[in-house]
Amino acid sequence: MPGRTLPTFTTAEVKSHNTAKSCYVTIGRNVYDVTDFLDSHPGGSDLVLEYAGKDIADILKDEASHTHSETAYEVLDESLVGFLASSNGTANGTANGQANGAANGKSTGVDHANGNGVSAHPRTGMSCEEDLSKETDFSDDYKKHKFLDLNKPLFLQVWNGGFSKEFYLDQVHRPRHYKGGESAPLFGNFLEPLSKTPWWVIPIAWGPPVAYGLHLANEGFSSTFVQFALFCLGVFIWTLLEYALHRFLFHLDYYLPDNRVGITLHFLLHGIHHYLPMDKYRLVMPPTLFVVLAAPFWKLAHTLFWWDWSIATTIYCGGIFGYICYDLTHYFLHHQNLPLWYKELKKYHLAHHFLDYELGFGVTSRFWDDIFGTELPSVVKTK
């Protein structure tokens, strides 16, 4: 920002900007207005507001949280609004001062793969979760990649795009971020609302049927403990099913038919989530799609346990409860600040997006990744 004249602020003035309506932070003497970034922060706005009006140099370097990439500092570069006044009332800095150097000596020009110890995907160059939420310039992105124009409905662009499978897979796994916290248009018509699902719809839609199913099935048990054990078995079966569906259906990827039918179905089922991973309304499964996927498993459960309806129903309800936990966990991993154990899971799942989508298929846990050898090796647990 050469040549730009920026104002100075007193420490008290910066501290007064500590709300969601006006959120300032500092690094050294640089003052940043990050209000517009609150809703886009991968850890949730609360995590940013915790440091509103304060210096964030230490938290940006805190590996117990996560190491921030240069993308975080690029966001700050764009949010520079002034400088802290020194004791003599002057700004200790220049308009084109180091927006990131004060925090940890990084430069926004650092290459992800320059041997500095930062793990990065060799194709996308992504190295941490901030990369997922860097706002995409729609026009530049379309001119550069000739893939999808985020200004227009996506469905027909995928259907009519004539993309090869190789090109499609390369592009759909390069995350974009839709500006303003809104959802990109998928259909652009009366079908649009059916493609969006707030997270709270999941427990409201499926919690009561699970409770009712367990109530009906309870009549077939002489012991509540036995029913509870079978319910837990259903939850455990779900964890394996979650892993299998994510790995072999959602990431069918290179086994896709190389035609627009296969590519479009992939995009609707899971591709759009990898393309726009921070879209709040396409993080959980729409009820209409869940019914289609869940119905065959109802039939399967009652076929396998044909001799006892109560056993089959209880195990099935356990599976549906496991799904509810999965979808809520998935949403919170993308958009909420979480307790320590979940922070580890959050880093693990987001690395599946920004580091290597061909590994790390567990969402509610990494148990089956460990069992089947698909764990993300570069994601190290916090000591």
Mean pLDDT of 267-295: 91
> What local confidence, expressed as pLDDT, does residue 315 receive?
97
Q: Which two tokens stand for residue 358?
A: 């061909």
How would you label 158-193 residue by residue, b for 16+ Cβ within 10 Å and e otherwise?
Answer: beebebebeebbebbbbbbbbeeeebbbbeeeeeee
Statement: residue 383 has pLDDT above 90 = no
Using the structure block, give the residue that is written with the tokens 């992939």. 266
pLDDT band at 126 (very low <50, low <70, confident <90, very high): low
> What local confidence, expressed as pLDDT, does residue 145 receive?
84
Distances (CA, A) of 4 to 31, 60, 82, 97: 14, 26, 10, 11
Binding-site entries for Zn(2+) = 246, 251, 270, 273-274, 330, 334, 349, 352-353
> What local confidence, expressed as pLDDT, does residue 3 receive?
34
Query: pTM score, two decimals?
Result: 0.67
Mean pLDDT of 165-178: 88
Binding-site entries = 41, 68, 246, 251, 270, 273-274, 330, 334, 349, 352-353
Amino acid at 172: V
Query: For 22-53, how does the pLDDT look when each residue is reduced to its tens digit (9 = 90+)?
Result: 899 998 888 888 888 887 777 778 888 888 99
Q: Are 329 and 99 in contact (CB under 8 A)?
A: no
More confident residue, 212 or 132: 212
Amino acid at 72: A
Cα angle 4-5-10, degrees, rounded to a multiple of 5: 135
> What local confidence, expressed as pLDDT, does residue 124 receive?
58
Statement: residue 4 has pLDDT above 50 = no
Q: Which two tokens stand for residue 5?
A: 């004249």
Statement: residue 118 has pLDDT above 60 = no
Nearest to 336, CA basis, from 46, 50, 20, 38: 46
> What local confidence, expressed as pLDDT, does residue 136 receive?
81
pLDDT band at 240 (very low <50, low <70, confident <90, very high): very high
**Percent of the chain scoring above 90 in pLDDT:** 44
Provide CATH 3.10.120.10 ranges for the chain.
1-96+109-146
Q: Which two tokens stand for residue 313?
A: 């129903």
Binding-site entries for heme = 41, 68
Residues 6+ apart with CB under 8 A from 380: none
> What local confidence, expressed as pLDDT, does residue 314 receive?
97
The average confidence (pLDDT) of the chain is 82
Strands 30-33 and 18-19: unpaired
> What local confidence, expressed as pLDDT, does residue 379 receive?
56
More confident residue, 267 or 71: 267
pLDDT band at 67 (very low <50, low <70, confident <90, very high): low
Classify domain 1-96+109-146 at the CATH topology level.
Answer: Flavocytochrome B2; Chain A, domain 1 (3.10.120)
Q: Are 252 and 358 in contact (CB under 8 A)?
A: no
Rounded Cα–Cα distance for residues 325 and 338 (Å): 15
> What local confidence, expressed as pLDDT, does residue 66 receive?
55
Mean pLDDT of 106-123: 41
Mean pLDDT of 263-269: 95
More confident residue, 73 or 14: 14
More confident residue, 325 or 177: 325
Mean pLDDT of 358-381: 86
Amino acid at 228: F
Statement: residue 232 has pLDDT above 90 = yes
> What local confidence, expressed as pLDDT, does residue 147 receive?
94
What's the sign of the alpha-carbon dihedral 269, 273, 274, 275? positive
> What local confidence, expressed as pLDDT, does residue 320 receive?
97
pLDDT band at 364 (very low <50, low <70, confident <90, very high): very high
Query: For 128-171, how does the pLDDT look when each residue is reduced to its tens digit (9 = 90+)?
Result: 666 666 778 888 888 888 899 998 999 999 999 999 999 999 89
